[in-house]
Amino acid sequence: MTDIDQTILVIGGTGKTGRRVASALRERGIPVRVGSRTGSPRFDWHDRSTWAPAFDGVRAAYVTFYPDLAVPGSPALIGDLARAAVAAGVAHLVLLSGRGEEEAQASERALADAVAGTGTAWTVVRASWFMHNFSEAFMADGVREGTLVLPAGDVPEPFVHCDDVADVAVAALTGAAPAGRVYEVTGPRALTFAEAVQEIAKAAGREVTFVAVPLDEYAATLRGLGLGDDEIALITYLFGEVLDGRNVAPTSGVRAALGRDPRDFSAYAREVTWG
């Protein structure tokens, strides 16, 4: 087989998990094509003419949907993308999904239904909240400034390390983890947001405070900062519905895929340079 026959497409290859997946594949000597609006060939979720060129000559693909599979309409898009991949001869699709999100689970079903009976395999990596949201996403500014304000109370979450998510995805893409399965991945223990911030403060060697606020107050603050209605709706959905206790229990998905325990939040807090 030529290199192009072994190429793996990483849709969202500049994101938190996508760039880790791409890096790990390259370290294994596997050719990687990053699927993004600035990639070559270009990939754009909202320009279907870019899908077939992105899949051309690709053996497998890691699929992340921006901003989140919780967005209404995502199941239809995921199903259509899967059919485009099948038409291009892609052998395996690995979908990043969200734990406890009904729309995300609908997207998982759309993916499986679209490839059923085609010879294209599927795998789902269903993740809990990322640890790296504290350091690489919308919570990072608050942590850096010393006060993290969120509409999150005392419900704990088994935050997952992005490297673990990527490692499971790579194991699936390379055949080290069996296909046709949902790997529900979490960290080894659940922490409230206040407890997570305490772990960060300890590792950073400085004070970081967590402040819980009502959801409507937080939404109003976001609106005042210029966020659009769609972004606010997604954030309020995640905090108001998904973070309701349904995801408290850690799972064994990392061990099932990799044969080892997941990374702990305290290890994550120590490895980050908090500034």
CA triple 63-170-47, angle to 5 deg? 15
CATH architecture of 4-130+160-188+247-263: 3-Layer(aba) Sandwich (3.40)
Give pLDDT, residue 172.
98
pTM above threshold 0.75 = yes
Q: Locate the domains of the chain by residue range.
A: 4-130+160-188+247-263
How many whole angstroms separate alpha carbon 210 and alpha carbon 193? Answer: 7
What pLDDT does 4 receive? 46
What pLDDT is attached to residue 110?
98
Largest CA distance in the chain: 57
Q: What is the mean pLDDT for each group of 10 consecutive residues in the chain (275 residues)?
A: 72 96 97 94 96 97 94 95 98 97 95 98 98 93 96 95 98 97 98 98 97 95 88 89 93 98 98 91
pLDDT value at residue 5:
57
